[in-house]
Amino acid sequence: MATTRPQANGNGNGSAVRPAKVELEEEDENIFLFYPNLIGYSRVVLALASLYYMPLHPRTCSILYSVSCLLDALDGLAARHFSQSTKFGAVLDMVTDRCTTACLLVFLGSAFPRWSIIFQGLISLDLASHYMHMYATLSMGGSSQSHKNVDESRSWILKMYYSNNKVLFTFCALNELFFIALYLLSFSSPFLSPTLLKASEPTSPQPGSPAVPKPSMLFTSPWSAGAMEMARANKMDSTIPWILAVISFPIMFGKQWINVVQLVKASKWLAEGDRLERKRLGLPAKKGKKVQ
């Protein structure tokens, strides 16, 4: 009678031996140290430094602020090159943009008091438009959808604005350039920022009461509004800032128009979702017919 023999294996005793499993432990990636996010942190540092120099040092502030804005394009390139696009990086980038622009507009509102309501409106429009667009994208399009993925059927303008990197960079760069030019004009243009203290003809012959007192007699605090304006007055030539302002104004205006379109489209998208949700819940409840 034939007998079955146990198959021989590596240990020679005929018993089955399971190969040892090699478990590879994958280390969790540190999202906060991705190259695009490191660039984002440097943008924040440069923006804070520009705010420190903003009241009295226009050249230093403008250089720091401009470099911070230009790095906005570099972090996107780094994200695509190293395959390190993250939601945290996208939010960090947007928050940095909104905060730096808002801080600059706050300064412009104080530098040009008669136009402060315009700068306040621009801050509100910028924040409301981007928040509404981001919220609509997350709630209606899903958490995995980027705010830059805009369906052309909803808005071809927003589709072109977000899908073309060259268009996006041009609008954002020249929008910031216009506000930087206004900032420089607050140090150089008597037309836009006339000095508070204007010399006038002496009207009082009494000694000890000069008609045109020294600034130190009027503004004892070096951080008062008048002292700050005097320190800014005619500190630099206004020719180049005026040229930059004129060139960049049409793009800046177009950027604000896009913000309005973005706000309106996001509002309609959210309202559309509300209508669908109310229909799903059977709202509004239909009233029964009255029986006579």
* Active-site position among 72, 75, 97, 126: 97
- Tell me, yes or no, if 237 is annotated catalytic: no
Contact 171, 159 (CB under 8 A): no
Q: Token digits for 114? A: 């008669």
Q: Which residues are catalytic?
A: 97
